[in-house]
Structure 1
Amino acid sequence: MLRPVELEVRHLRALCAIADTGSVRKAARQLGMSQPALTTQLRRIENAIGGELFARERTGSRLTPLGRSVLGRARSIVAEMNALTAEAREAAGQGTASGTRLWIGSTTSRAVPGWLRRLRLRFPDADTTIRTDASPNTLLRMVAEHQLDVAFVHEVAGVPLRFPEGVELRVLIAREPQFVVVPDSHPAARAPVVRLADLAGDQWMVDPSVDGELTGLRRILAAAGLNPKVVYGDYLMAADLVAAGEVVTPCQPTARARPGTAVRPLEGDPLTVRLLLVCRAGAGAPAGIEGVFTDLAAAYREIAWASDAYRRWLARHDGPLPLFQMPERVPVPLLV
């Protein structure tokens, strides 16, 4: 039975965030609030509905049957509210890159600062803001729900993202190799290219909140016949632990080596990602989307050639970068 507490759109957004991220901790980080505050809010929501929406488990939060039922309604309400807000902003002259705002999202990438700089020059009258998130799937849903105009995300090979209905992809890089960061005292640091077998005795660290990265890493290790210990942590902490000689960790090819570390490619490039720019399809795409893609490509090219390890890899693989080609547009019809 419903209690006197009434649900608001912010409560529904919180439910969606917990379901999307799989844990209250990650959802709190995404929503910009503390974990205890979100836990308290979830209890109030469950009290108002009259039942448990998530089963708390050691690995995170799993939807209950009641939770799945409520979430289906919550998503449609949040999407409608986001669309209403976007339409109202557009009616007020605040809706496109050629107007006064451009909302972009991105997973972690060193290309983002250069992208933002170019976008501000291209759209000097736009209020350009950015939302970063470790989860590509979260950013995709935000695009579909009109919370973002575009998102720059990566998809780990063999671990497909969940593309919502009505979004369109532009492929920046079809197959970007992922490198590895090792202590500069590690024997592998003396080689230009590292074999996975050379790291068989090392402890790996990966951020499990980044969609697909844990699964992708375990897949390539298993394919190489290796079963090293894998521990969890964010990549900022991982860099410090690599320098201390405690772990090795996968990284983007554009990563800069910090003191005490070395960035090296893996032999055969077993771990790769696809880099994508995502926006709403058809008439829902923001004005000037081709320019947005062009600026992202230029920013990525700039940082790629400025990265020592990646520049050497590109030279060995007969550059130029794939992004010199025309962007491939891929409509995505259904959520998978």
Structure 2
Amino acid sequence: MLRYASTDIERVEIELDHQNPRNISVRARFCEEVLRIFKESKRKFDFLISHSNELVSHEAVGKIKKLRPDLPWVAYFGDLFVRNPYIRHMPGYPLVAEDSAIERETLRDADLIILNNEYQRDLMFTGNLATFKHKAVIIPHCYDPAMYPADVVPKNDKFVFSHLGTLYYVKRTAEPVLRAVDRLLEIYPEYRGKFELRFYGASPCDSDRACHEAMRNPSHVRFLGPVSYSESLRLMAESDALLLIDGLFSEADDGLDCNPFFPGKLTDYMGARRPIASITMAKGPTADIMTESGNLIADSRLDRVAYVLKRYIDRKIQPKYDVYDNYSVGKVAGLMEDAIKSILKV
């Protein structure tokens, strides 16, 4: 990734327990080292920047901000934490209270908050944090066209959908798609053998594996191993269509009427310039982009998912690639530059 950076980046590694990073002592050590490195550096810094993966990055930079309150602080949140609907499905997940406090303190103390979509912003800046909403700037994920192989076109003997990336064991699973494959072939048996779904990434969860084994047409779905990032971009470009699966939430179970996550994989997909079929909610950044670009979305209803798959197999979907272009690094980098310049002291 750094090979494509347009500037020199000084990278410093801190030796810690990487097998068990989510504990208080490891985080304290990380913050101490960050402070030490900052104090010993001879460089003149114009601003501070932190990110939410992991949230200890915000904690460490918050300590530098207390040491140097004159330095503007830019805090980037890829995802929200306090309102993250997945947390309740992970009993015993460590440092929930601590990370919730870090998120609130960062929204309060940072000079600029960069988020990637409006749904995320509106869920984060509520209650007594609403007064800080003016500090938020929306800058979407982006892709770099230079990272994709040139002149690659699909040359498949059947229509290939590819899904790249991690699925979860709850809310965001392959099950709706697997069941829809059987439903599609039940209605249109003449489509048997004409398409294939390929899932690249970590091993499927037990429920997805069981669902696959129970399929009437399991040969239409393949679970393949993880690949490198550069290889994933090539596989995207070689696919006939790309498959995106978002979390499906509800107000009753999760207190959400939208999916507030903007998956970085969606921008990777757009960079490959292929049609994209999305399993997602009707409200959220994915749905907005899919609708604007002329792609189709489906929720968990089998007939809807089967219909969407068929439309792509029939090559009826021709995306508006100029919408994809809005997420290229050439368009988005300027937004980031303008946002940072807005808080620099000149």
- Does the TM-score normalized on the shorter chain lie above 0.5? no
TM-score calculated relative to the size of structure 1: 0.32
Bigger strand fraction: 1
Q: Which has the higher contact order (CA 8 A, sep 6+)?
A: 1
